[in-house]
Amino acid sequence: MENLRNKIGVSGFWLKYFAAACMVLDHIHYFFEYTGKIPLWFSQVGRLAFPLFMFCIVEGFTHTKNRKKYFLSIYLVSVGMGLLQYLFIISDKLKRSDGFYPQNQALATFAILLVILQGLDWCAKKHWAKGLAAIILPLVWPFVLIIAAQLVPPLSAFVGVLHYTILPMHIAITDGGTTYILLGVLLYVLRNHRVAQAVAYFAAHFGVFFALGLKMQLTGTQFFTMGYEWMGAFAAVLMLLYNGTRGHGSKRFFYIFYPAHVYVLYALSCVLFIAANS
């Protein structure tokens, strides 16, 4: 199986470029859905993007020579995008005329995941104190911040700023969040067993979102028109094809492309919305 995957498999950069293409389709639907002209399958195919990027994040964390630099590259972009999102929230002038604004926090999810993965690695090396701290604190601090804001209401605005910048709360992230962090941990734990990793990811991803659809009482067709997050489970097939090589490409491209394409598409959607309603 390993030799076959090496022959027909794909590199890490191929997975990232494929994920980027799926992401662009998804975001075209996200930003221009209001036109009624963007097919739903753009977003359905786009469900593959987040799991594939997360898989690459786990592989990158596992193999990078400088984990601190790797984390900071993702975290700093996340903080910048989070600050912009907060500005969108508090300023109506920055929102589209219909009140829409970007809520893309994928990198915040990945930043939290990386801290937890480092904690797991420290625990594996029996550095229990800092390992458990790195695992537990990112999971607990949302509840601490929320309780603090409830006890001292004037802190609410400050907690909001923290969430969208330096201390993202996994339970409040709309682009990824708690479920995907746990799925990322699953990918990491099974990273040395590719087939088991892919099968477990497919089962977990499909099971969680299918169960969520049942809880929401979706009908059969609504699983394809509303609750289609389960389709991301098929990213496991491409994970299985990964041949363990880095491939050729620029790491900086993705750190630039992700925020750039989000704000370019958002700006275009604003211009088109104004033109269509003038």
Tokens of 203: 């089962």
Cα–Cα dist 277/2, whole Å: 56
Contact 197, 187 (CB under 8 A): yes
Phi first, then psi: what are they for 173, rounded to 5°? -80, 125
Cα–Cα dist 178/171, whole Å: 6
Tokens of 128: 């229990």
Q: What DSSP designation does 218 have? A: -
Tokens of 77: 């972009």
> Could you tell me how far CA 133 lies from the centroid of its own chain?
23
CA distances from 87 to 6, 82, 104, 106, 270 (A): 46, 9, 13, 18, 16
- Our CA dihedral for 170, 203, 67, 6, rounded to 10 degrees, sits at -160
Cα–Cα dist 209/232, whole Å: 9
Contact 159, 145 (CB under 8 A): yes
Contact 107, 175 (CB under 8 A): no
Nearest residue to 68 (alpha-carbon basis) of 24, 143, 142, 118: 118
Single-letter code of the amino acid located at 215:
K
At residue 3, the pLDDT reads 53
CB count, 10 Å around CB of 250?
10
At residue 244, the pLDDT reads 92
Residue in the structure block whose two tokens are 């992230």: 173
For 69, counting Cβ atoms within 10 Å of its Cβ (0-12 exposed, 13-18 middle, 19+ buried), the class is: exposed
At residue 7, the pLDDT reads 57
Tens digits of residue pLDDT in 62-111: 999 999 999 999 999 999 999 999 999 999 999 999 999 999 999 999 99
b/e burial code for range 163-178 (CB count within 10 A of at least 16 → b): bbbebbbbebbebbbb
Taking only the tens of pLDDT, the chain with its 278 residues reads 555 455 578 999 999 999 999 999 999 999 999 999 999 999 999 999 999 999 999 999 999 999 999 999 999 999 999 999 999 999 999 999 999 999 999 999 999 999 999 999 999 999 999 999 999 999 999 999 999 999 999 999 899 999 999 999 999 998 999 999 999 999 999 999 999 999 999 999 999 999 999 999 999 999 999 999 999 999 999 999 999 999 988 888 999 999 999 999 999 999 999 999 87
For 121, counting Cβ atoms within 10 Å of its Cβ (0-12 exposed, 13-18 middle, 19+ buried), the class is: middle
Nearest residue to 229 (alpha-carbon basis) of 215, 216, 210: 210
